[in-house]
Amino acid sequence: MRTPGLVDLQVNGFAGLDFNSGAVTADALDRALEAMLATGVTTCLPTIITAHPHELAERFQALDAAVRASRLGPLMCPGYHLEGPFLNSGAGYHGCHPADAMTAAKADLVERLDAVLQRPILMVTLAPEIEGGLALAAKLARAGKIVAIGHSAADFETVQAAADAGASLSTHLGNGLPQQLHKLNNTLFAQLGEDRMMAGFIADGIHIHPKALKSLIRAKGFERSILVTDAVVAAGAEPGRYHFAGMPVDLAADGSVRQPGGVSLAGSALKLDDAVRNVVAWGIATPAEAVAMASTHAIAAIQPALAAAGITLPENEITWSPELRIRHVRIGDMTRDFAAEAAA
């Protein structure tokens, strides 16, 4: 099977590299991107999570410099995803994001961060119910950014208002939520039912039970569903202790990533080709549908921001084995052959 390359809209790190470290180098980034290529990913939005303004500036600038100086960054990283700091700091909603760094929604912060970068912030995840959230959503949308809802308690009315303002995506829907919610009147149902918004799902079997994921994708609609990883530094690495955005995290043998002694998850160790294979194995989608959720659907979600920034992605394609293993990857004139590994 030959398909477009996979697209990861939410990836915080990979193969031992934390994109949030503030000390990303071009060589380290190339190693991480090579490891992502082996999973079929040809396009990604490196994601910076909630931090204080000076930390966000340092992290974005280090990441942007590494992308610019690397071999693969200019091909694979058209821009960035800012997840926070405009999130709901309430218990159960903030997840592993540092609640003390969350702020009211401020457009000038995004503008300051964006102004010094060679590649733009293409997507911003926010909670529209916080102070200034709806106004910021509207301003970002007018500026050509993709506005996503995440780590949010937004109710039906607020989700509708956010979509009216230009929000078009849900970030890792089903996660960033407390364990207890109203059985029907809650933000999960509100976002599932908003047809103007697509939704990203983490298909690792840890963030969302496979049968629950099947129900969520059926409710959202296949055509509005996207597979993402929310991968952190531990993805594609061995179980053990790592550091993500200044905090220690442990990758367990079952593939879960948590802060030491913590209960809630801290990103994932998921690889996007594994997500494709998972949703096929779980009877959620056909191989073609699964790949579409991890490729063309994701591109459709960010196409308005790419167009607004004048970005044209290089041609890309991947070839799969009958077992849905990556055999061959092409981006522009660059190719990688993984046929031997796919046959193993």
Q: Residue 265 contacts by C-beta under 8 Å, 6 or more apart in sequence? A: 95, 96, 175, 206, 207, 256, 257, 258
- Confidence category of residue 179, pLDDT binned at 50, 70, 90: confident
Residue-wise pLDDT tens digits, 2-38: 999 999 999 999 999 999 999 999 999 999 999 999 9
- Residues serving a catalytic function are 230
Structural domain boundaries in the chain = 2-343
- Confidence category of residue 47, pLDDT binned at 50, 70, 90: very high
Direct distance between the N- and C-terminal alpha carbons of the chain, in angstroms, rounded to an integer: 18
Residue-wise pLDDT tens digits, 70-124: 999 999 999 999 999 999 999 888 888 999 999 999 899 999 999 999 999 999 9
Q: Residue 204 contacts by C-beta under 8 Å, 6 or more apart in sequence? A: 229, 255, 268, 269, 270, 274, 275, 278
Residue-wise pLDDT tens digits, 190-226: 999 999 999 999 999 999 999 999 999 999 999 999 9
Q: Residue 194 contacts by C-beta under 8 Å, 6 or more apart in sequence? A: 159, 160, 163
pLDDT, average across residues 141-152: 97
CB 242 within 8 A of CB 251: yes
pLDDT above 90 covers a percentage of the chain that reads 93
Residue-wise pLDDT tens digits, 123-144: 999 999 999 999 999 999 999 9
Higher pLDDT: 159 or 264? It is: 159
pLDDT above 70 covers a percentage of the chain that reads 99
Q: How far apart are CA 306 and CA 82, in angstroms?
A: 15
**Model pTM score:** 0.96
pLDDT over 60 (residue 343):
no
Per-residue pLDDT at 264: 83
The burial of 90, by beta-carbon neighbours within 10 Å (0-12 exposed, 13-18 middle, 19 or more buried), is given as middle
Angle at the Cα of 228 (from 210 to 164), degrees rounded to 5?
Answer: 105
CATH superfamily of 2-343: Metal-dependent hydrolases (3.20.20.140)
Give the gyration radius of the chain's Cα atoms. 18
- Confidence category of residue 58, pLDDT binned at 50, 70, 90: very high
pLDDT over 70 (residue 342):
no
Residue-wise pLDDT tens digits, 223-282: 999 999 999 999 999 999 999 999 999 999 999 999 998 778 999 999 999 999 999 999
pLDDT over 70 (residue 340):
no
The candidate with the shortest Cα–Cα distance to 15, out of 209, 307, 232, is 232
Mean pLDDT of the chain: 96
Q: How far apart are CA 206 and CA 236, in angstroms?
A: 16
Residue-wise pLDDT tens digits, 93-102: 888 899 999 9
Cα atoms in the Cβ-side hemisphere of radius 13 Å centred on 318: 27
